[in-house]
Homo-oligomer: A and B are copies of this chain.
Amino acid sequence: MQVLVPYRVDEPKTRLAPVLDDEERREFSRLMLADVLAAVRSAGYDPTVLSTAPLSGGDCVDERPLTVAVNSHLEPNTAVVMADLALVTPSVLGELFETNEDVVLAPGRGGGTNAIVARHPQFRVDYHGASYRDHVEICKAIGASVRTIDSYRLGTDIDEPADLAEVLLHGDGRAADWLDDRFELSTSNGRTGVKRY
């Protein structure tokens, strides 16, 4: 199975700007990518970074928008795993990959689709808006069997400052270590967030 990990090189993780500066966002997003790639490898698969610009040897460069880029690299047996799943582990990826349905979806908060396994030749992704619902509809339209993976780790993509608390609480990769050196949990106002040491 082909495992694609899309990655935007320019201005990664803009919604983290309230707490991380440009250089920090670049560093942190690279570390999350590295953690995801390591987890894919530990699960026994060879990931391909689908990058908007050259990163290192072996990547596949496609500067087009996410949906177009992914669809043009879909083969009948392809997984797509987002690069900002900082809580992902080899075992949860194993559960995702070792399924039998035509399409397997791991929803993210707010209706996103954080990981997909696509085995049906007519399946195409559409990452606009509440993509999880759209992906279920696409499966119905093409008669593909679909399964939803119930995973907190796959469901947690790191987009906003509040998400960083999830990394401190549940992460144990390089991105979590990096964050742990700079931030601690803050529960001062009754909600859990992060603050710098």
Residues of A participating in the B interface, judged by any CB pair closer than 8 Å: 92, 107, 109-112, 129-130, 132-133, 150-155, 162, 165-166, 169-170, 185, 187, 191-192
Contact = CB atoms under 8 A, between A and B. Distances in A.
A33 B170 CA distance: 28
A169 B92 contact: no
Given A169-B132, A192-B129, A192-B130, A110 B151 contact: no
Nearest to A111: B192
B185 A92 contact: no
A150 B111 contact: no
Contacts of A111: 165, 169, 185, 187, 192
Given A110-B192, A132-B169, A152-B152, 15 more contacts: A107-B169, A107-B170, A109-B166, A110-B162, A111-B169, A111-B187, A111-B192, A130-B169, A130-B187, A130-B192, A150-B151, A150-B152, A150-B153, A152-B154, A155-B155
Nearest to A108: B152
Contacts of A133: 169, 185
Contacts of A192: 110-112, 129-130
Contact of A129 (B110, B132, B187): B187
Nearest to A190: B129
Contacts of A151: 150-152
Nearest to A92: B150
